[in-house]
């Protein structure tokens, strides 16, 4: 079914907004509990080896300390869990910062003091923490984290490159990056008999429930996970990390007591995932007319020795442009460091930097305008799947952006515009992100005509329940609008409830999939409800549904597209780099809530700017940990770094993606943004920077 | 984090007496650096002596035409003071270039001077650092040294090596203004030239300043300085706000006709202390205000420079950056239009 939009497409303020600005919307740590206990961990100070002794006597003796857990005293977990979830289960140390003991005390200060008093002795073993593409430990994984094959070759790309009229070969590097949402990872856990109740900063209450049930050998029904409000995640709160398991483990040792643990900012650099560093060898071959004949994108990247995570870096190059021959490969360095995880546009964000800079370099080598080069290589059908597109409006994005950015007046000569001591240039890059639908979200619609929610004899209200997560993207508003349109009532008649496993299973706020997956489930439940009860239901009438499969999934390739335009200024003396202007034009299906959508696009572009100029987790391989582990050291763009930033989206009617016609917008804003800035920096200065972040020393 | 006693004496003398008598006691003012250190386990005082309100929070006109800045004056208030902005623009600009609005509202003049290096290894208890743990070695020498020194550092021997930089912007401006720092100790009050307050690491990198334990900064005195009316602070950093200087330049020059007749120059982000660039000043005076002059002056200051040559990111880039920043700053003061 396809919905007729009334609420969708209309700007809707966040329904939870007033509570948030008053500080009344409870985040995980603020969940009230009687006499809570506080956890503070002891972390490994070595990257690899064994704990040989732990002396907890001084900590035990401290007033207010309730418990000190070590691998010797901690309750046992199930064996069938992720390697990094096995907290306090053995003396092995596989990464710096790993939990080796935990203190619970009546105040957070006492817990922290006691943790400092725990004395740990280690037998250190040799470790490897540097990403080295000549390492003999590199291996070829089977699949990317998305499940797609790690390597994919079509035709004979080497022969095509050898025969190409023009070739570009370059190596691009992207650094390890950390998500660092404002709200740190937080768990508030209590065991009520054999039930575990957790308030958690998570993008996926169901995934957290699944991980905890697995770790403790419980049925999923015996675990409740609650997260109505989450202060950002960017992917780091998608998977479950050791901190959550540790808190539940410690709580198990103090039954009936609530245990609270919020990570410090420094701990956020150790244990809750990161975007792995990549080294990308890209080669493009083209005929004299600028038609691609070959694309190769060969990647070497970081992972963890204890648990594989293969960033799908080169996947971007499989579907973006038509080329006769293509090769994409991934090689992984298993390092003695924490486990990487999804970070906003995993794969597309780093991969588009290499691929879209290479396109700019090819445009320069050919003497063709970079927008025109992309237009010439627009595919007829999706090069990866061989399917027609449900809709693809990349060219329209490029053309509209060119018009707004005054591209036609651009002198393509690098280093040709000096204004008040700053070299200025402009650059462009393309973006894409797949339409992702996760199965298994359960939605329920219930009529309320009486009681607190209903209004007696008047029009019915509808309670809509789904264990979706709002990490700031605007699910509270978007799902309310979808439910209103699906039930054909005004938004005022919808009472949405999300963020609680009491509502069943749901897929995560991740992969730009939330609106698609949850919205399709809500739409299906609403349709069933109306089929069964019509528009005048009785109090308590209810219907439910689980996310249906997309009947068009095998017929069409489905992606959102976008075009980034950036102006860069580089100080002629000092090399300081600024981005006075950015424009993003997107074609992402129907925009459900223009108000929050603009923020999502802007946020993605800002994060892309931040990746382009600032973000780099400095992993000191001698010690095996990130040394710039706070907000003074790990730079994220400040307001002063963000100049004029404009967002526009094209009207796009796509009946195939889902009932809402929406494509997902959480990630596409970051894809290609760094490449547009790097391309603009080259245009400004003539200096091609192929390694992120782009800092002033490149121009000195 | 170790528990500590908290005391609030009635006056500065009482605070000095308390801290002087206890080697594990420390003064607390705005707390913007010390509280971080408490959390990190870097500072473990037994007693914090809160000096808020015990030193002046006023900026007063001095009889000689200068200004006296109470140690308790908040950074935000110092930046906004009309007299400072008119008579010592380099100082107002330096204040606004430092930290963030929130931090400037808390941080005091005295505390700003005594903040400690932000070297990542100094702040990380799990890595060797001669400043934090004398004799343990310097992790920055072969580590992440982007913010480290090129002048006056100790590269060897290993057990005293230190290439840390002093992070204050304010102190660089004060260095160029020939400020005097008034200090109250158990033996009474003394006045120290700002340029000698901070030390080079030498063989004792754990000591940042010449102050004795228990000595309290009470005020900073600025002498009258006609040249300072035409002064500037130019800060080069890795983002546009809320970042420590890679290199900063505090500068004032006087030009008569085609000749520089007087010059003051100090550098930040390059040494263990605010670096008064006397060699550059000498090279400037008597020369025409051209880019060539400015570059030559910067290079004169860098004759003895020694960057950190780290495989994980050293400071060699700071040599051309100092030259570029000095040139840009002085060109701006001279009103010139020349460029690279």
pLDDT in tens, A482-537: 999 999 999 999 999 999 999 999 999 999 999 999 999 999 999 999 999 999 99
Same domain? For A385 and A396 the reply is yes
Angle between helices A673-685 and A348-366 (to 10 degrees): 30
pLDDT class of A328 with cuts at 50, 70, 90: very high
The CA distance from A185 to B253, in Å, is 52
Residues 245-264 of B with CB under 8 A from A: 246
User: A379-413, pLDDT tens digit by residue?
Assistant: 999 999 999 999 999 999 999 999 999 999 999 99
Q: Is residue A146 part of a domain?
A: no
Q: Cβ of A421 and B339 within 8 Å?
A: yes
Question: In terms of DSSP bridges, do strands A461-466 and A494-497 run parallel, antiparallel, or are they unpaired?
Answer: parallel
Per the annotation, the verdict on A403 as an active-site residue is no
H or E segment to which residue A429 belongs: strand A422-434
Residue A452, pLDDT score: 58
Residue percentage of chain A with pLDDT more than 90 = 97
Chain A contact set for B328 (CB, 8 A)? 421, 571, 573-574
Q: Strands (DSSP E) along A139-291, which ranges?
A: 152-154, 166-174, 186-192, 195-200, 223-226, 259-262, 278-286
Report the residue from A574, A625, A695 with minimal CB separation from B324.
A574
**Same structural domain for residues A159 and A194?**
no
- Inspect the interface and report whether the beta carbons of B324 and A641 lie closer than 8 Å: no
Q: Which residues of A176-194 are buried (b: 16+ CB within 10 A; e: fewer)?
A: bbbbbbebbbbbbbbbeee
pLDDT for the residue B335: 84
CA angle A540, A546, A552 (to 5 degrees): 135
Asked whether the beta carbons of residue A613 and residue B139 sit closer than 8 angstroms, the reply is no
Q: Are residues A156 and A293 in the same domain?
A: yes
Residues A516 and A592 in one domain: no
Whether the per-residue pLDDT at A236 is higher than 50: the answer is yes
Asked if A116 lies within 8 A of B1 by C-beta distance, the reply is yes
| End position of a domain, from candidates A546, A579, A596 | A546
The domain ranges of chain B are 230-334
Q: How far apart are CA A483 and CA A530, in angstroms?
A: 12
Q: Is A434 helix (H, G, I), strand (E, B) or coil?
A: strand
Which residue ranges in chain B fall short of pLDDT 70? 336-340
Kindly state whether residues A342 and A378 are assigned to the same domain: yes
User: Does B230-334 carry CATH code 3.40.50.300?
Assistant: no
Domain boundary among A235, A269, A303: A269
**Packing angle, helices A594-613 and A673-685, rounded to 10:** 50
Is a pLDDT exceeding 80 seen at residue A450?
no
pLDDT digits (tens, 9 = 90+) for A583-627: 999 999 999 999 999 999 999 999 999 999 999 999 999 999 999
CA distance A698 to A219: 55
Cβ atoms of A1 and A523 within 8 Å: the answer is: yes
Domain contains A5:
no
Compute the nearest-CA separation of B115 from chain A (Å): 14
Instruction: Name the band, by pLDDT with cuts 50, 70 and 90, for residue A453.
Output: low
Question: Which structural domain range is residue A202 located in?
Answer: 31-126+180-269
Residues A195 and A340 occupy one common structural domain: no
Sheet holding A152-154, edge to edge: A152-154, A325-335, A292-304, A278-286, A166-174
Per-residue buried b or exposed e for A515-552, using 16+ beta carbons within 10 Å of the residue's own CB: bbbbbbbbbbbbbbbbeebeeebeeebbbbbbbbebee
Mean local confidence (pLDDT), A5-21: 96
Nearest CB among A96, A264, A627 relative to B121 is that of: A627
Structure confidence at residue A459 (pLDDT): 87
Using a CB-CB distance cutoff of 8 angstroms, which residues of chain B are in contact with residue A697? 317, 321
Instruction: Examine the domain organization and report whether A22 and A67 are in the same domain.
Output: no
How high is the ipTM of this complex?
A: 0.97
Other C-beta atoms closer than 10 Å to the C-beta of B310 total: 19
**B46 reaches A (C-beta below 8 A):** no
Count of the separate structural domains present in chain A: 3
- Closest CB to A112: pick one of B1, B144, B244: B1
Query: How much is the pLDDT for B340?
Result: 43
For residues A538 and A591, membership in a common domain is answered with: no
| A520 & A573 share domain | no
A398 and A418 in one domain?
Answer: yes
A627 at interface of B, judged by CB pairs closer than 8 A: yes
Inside any domain, residue A140: no
pLDDT at residue B63 in the model: 95
Q: Test B238 with A421 for CB contact under 8 angstroms.
A: no
The pair phi, psi for residue A579, each rounded to 5°, is -120, 90
What is the tens place of the pLDDT at every residue in A533-555? 999 999 999 999 999 999 999 99
Q: Which of residues 176-205 of B touch A (CB under 8 A)?
A: none
From the candidates A200, A356, A465, A667, give the one annotated as an active-site residue. A667
B124 closest CB neighbour out of A578, A614, A627: A627
Confidence (pLDDT) at A548: 98
Over residues A331-378, the pLDDT tens digits come to 999 999 999 999 999 999 999 999 999 999 999 999 999 999 999 999
Looking at residue A243, its pLDDT comes to 98
Q: Does B244 touch chain A (CB under 8 A)?
A: yes
Q: Are residues A685 and A569 in the same domain?
A: yes
Question: Can you give the pLDDT at residue A120?
Answer: 98
Task: Pick the last residue of a domain from A219, A250, A269.
Answer: A269
Residues A195 and A160 in one domain: no
How high is the mean pLDDT of chain A? 97
Test A574 with B242 for CB contact under 8 angstroms: no
Distance from CA of B334 to the nearest CA of A (A): 15
Residue A454's pLDDT band (cuts 50, 70, 90): low
Within 8 A of A614 by CB-CB distance, chain B residues are 238-239
Question: At how many degrees (to 10) do helices A205-216 and A242-252 cross?
Answer: 50
Q: Which residue of A has its CA nearest to B291?
A: A573
| Candidates A620, A629, A638; nearest CB to B239 | A638
CATH code of the domain containing A231 = 3.30.365.10
| Domain assignment of residue A239, yes or no | yes
Chain A nearest CA to B36, separation (Å)? 11
pLDDT > 90? residue A206: yes
Min Cα separation A123/chain B (Å): 16
Given a cut of 50, is residue A273 above it in pLDDT?
A: yes
């Amino acid at each position: 079914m396809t919905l007729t939009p009334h609420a969708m497409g209309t700007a809707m303020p966040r329904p939870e907004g007033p509570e948030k600005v008053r500080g009344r919307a409870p985040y995980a740590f603020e969940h009230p509990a009687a006499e809570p206990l506080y956890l503070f961990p002891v972390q490994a100070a070595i990257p690899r080896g064994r704990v040989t002794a732990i002396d907890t006597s001084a900590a035990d003796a401290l007033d207010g300390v309730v418990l000190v857990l070590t691998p010797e005293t901690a309750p046992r977990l199930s064996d069938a869990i992720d390697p990094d979830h096995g907290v306090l289960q053995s003396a092995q140390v596989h990464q710096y910062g790993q939990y080796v003991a935990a203190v619970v005390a009546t105040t957070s200060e006492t817990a922290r003091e006691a943790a400092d008093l725990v004395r740990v002795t280690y037998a250190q073993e040799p470790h490897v923490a540097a990403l080295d593409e000549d390492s003999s430990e590199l291996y070829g994984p089977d699949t990317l984290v998305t499940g797609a094959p790690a390597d994919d070759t079509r035709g004979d790309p080497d022969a095509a490159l050898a025969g190409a009229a023009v070739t570009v070969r370059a190596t691009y590097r992207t650094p390890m990056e950390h998500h660092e949402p404002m709200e740190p990872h937080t768990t508030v856990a209590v065991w009520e008999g054999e039930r575990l109740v957790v308030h958690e900063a998570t993008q996926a209450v169901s995934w957290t429930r699944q991980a905890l049930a697995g770790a403790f050998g419980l049925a999923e029904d015996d675990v409740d996970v609650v997260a109505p409000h989450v202060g950002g995640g960017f992917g780091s709160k998608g998977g479950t990390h050791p901190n959550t398991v540790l808190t539940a483990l410690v709580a198990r040792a103090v039954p009936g007591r609530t245990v609270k643990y919020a990570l410090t900012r420094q701990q956020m650099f150790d244990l809750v995932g990161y975007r792995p560093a990549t080294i990308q060898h890209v080669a493009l071959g083209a005929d004299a007319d600028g038609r691609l004949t070959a694309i190769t994108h060969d990647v070497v990247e970081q992972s963890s020795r204890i648990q594989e995570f293969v960033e799908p870096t080169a996947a971007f190059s499989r579907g973006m442009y038509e080329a006769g021959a293509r090769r994409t490969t991934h090689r992984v360095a298993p390092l003695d460091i924490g486990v990487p995880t999804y970070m906003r546009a995993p794969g597309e964000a780093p991969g588009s930097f290499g691929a879209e800079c290479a396109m700019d370099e090819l445009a320069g080598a050919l003497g063709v305008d970079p927008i025109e080069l992309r237009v010439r290589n627009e595919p007829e059908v999706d090069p990866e799947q061989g399917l027609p597109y449900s809709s693809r409006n990349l060219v329209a994005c490029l053309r509209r952006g060119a018009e707004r950015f005054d591209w036609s007046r651009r002198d393509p000569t690098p280093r040709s515009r000096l204004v008040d001591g700053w070299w200025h240039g402009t650059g462009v890059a393309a973006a894409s992100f797949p339409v992702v639908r996760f199965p298994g979200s359960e939605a329920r619609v219930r009529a309320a005509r009486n009681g607190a929610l209903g209004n007696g004899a008047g029009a019915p209200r509808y309670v809509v329940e789904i264990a979706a997560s709002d990490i700031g993207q605007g699910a509270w508003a978007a799902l309310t609008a979808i439910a209103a349109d699906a039930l054909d009532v005004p938004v005022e008649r919808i009472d949405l409830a999300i963020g609680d496993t009491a509502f069943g299973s749901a897929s995560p706020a991740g992969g730009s999939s939330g609106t698609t997956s949850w919205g399709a489930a809500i739409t299906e439940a609403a349709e069933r409800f109306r089929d069964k009860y019509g528009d005048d239901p009785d109090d308590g009438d209810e219907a439910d549904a689980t996310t249906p499969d997309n009947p068009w999934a095998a017929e069409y390739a489905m992606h959102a597209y976008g075009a980034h335009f950036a102006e860069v200024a580089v100080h002629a003396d000092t090399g300081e780099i600024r981005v006075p202007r950015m424009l993003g034009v997107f074609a992402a299906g129907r925009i459900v809530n223009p108000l929050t959508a603009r923020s999502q696009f802007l946020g993605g572009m800002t994060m892309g700017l931040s990746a382009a100029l600032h973000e780099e987790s400095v992993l000191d391989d001698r010690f095996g940990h990130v040394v710039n582990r706070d907000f003074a050291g790990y730079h994220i763009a400040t307001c002063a770094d963000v100049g004029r930033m404009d967002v526009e989206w094209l009207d796009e009617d796509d009946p195939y993606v889902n009932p809402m016609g929406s494509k997902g917008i959480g990630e596409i804003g970051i894809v290609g943004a760094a490449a547009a800035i790097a391309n603009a920096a080259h245009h400004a200065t003539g200096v091609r920077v192929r390694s992120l972040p782009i800092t002033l020393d490149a121009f000195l | 984090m170790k528990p500590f006693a908290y005391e609030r004496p009635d006056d500065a003398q009482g605070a000095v007496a308390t801290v002087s008598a206890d080697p594990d006691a420390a003064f607390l003012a705005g707390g913007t650096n010390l509280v971080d250190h408490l959390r990190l386990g870097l500072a473990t005082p037994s007693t914090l002596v809160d000096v808020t309100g015990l030193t002046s929070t006023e900026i007063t006109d001095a009889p000689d035409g200068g200004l006296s800045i109470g140690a308790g004056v908040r950074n935000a208030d110092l930046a906004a003071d009309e007299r400072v902005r008119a008579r010592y623009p380099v100082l107002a600009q330096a204040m606004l270039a430092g930290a963030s609005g929130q931090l400037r509202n808390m941080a005091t003049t005295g505390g700003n001077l005594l903040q400690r290096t932000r070297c990542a290894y100094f702040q990380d208890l799990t890595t060797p650092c001669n400043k934090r743990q004398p004799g343990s070695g310097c992790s920055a020498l072969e580590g992440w040294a982007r913010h480290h020194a090129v002048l006056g550092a100790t590269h060897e021997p290993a057990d005293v090596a230190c290439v840390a930089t002093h992070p204050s912007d304010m102190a660089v401006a004060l260095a160029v203004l020939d400020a005097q720092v008034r200090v109250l100790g158990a033996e009474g009050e003394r006045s120290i030239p700002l340029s000698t307050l901070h030390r080079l690491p030498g063989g004792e990198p754990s000591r940042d300043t010449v102050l004795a334990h228990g000595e309290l900064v009470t005020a900073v005195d600025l002498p009258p300085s006609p040249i300072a009316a035409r002064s500037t602070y130019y800060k080069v950093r890795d983002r546009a706000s809320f970042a420590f200087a890679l290199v900063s330049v505090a500068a004032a020059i006087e030009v008569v006709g085609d000749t520089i007749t007087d010059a003051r120059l100090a550098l930040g982000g390059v040494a263990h202390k605010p670096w008064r660039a006397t060699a550059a000043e000498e090279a400037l005076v008597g020369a025409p205000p051209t880019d060539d002059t400015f570059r030559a002056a910067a290079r004169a200051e860098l004759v003895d420079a020694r960057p950190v040559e780290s495989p994980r990111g050293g400071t060699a880039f700071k040599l051309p950056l100092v030259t570029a920043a000095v040139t840009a700053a002085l060109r701006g003061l001279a009103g010139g239009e020349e460029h690279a």
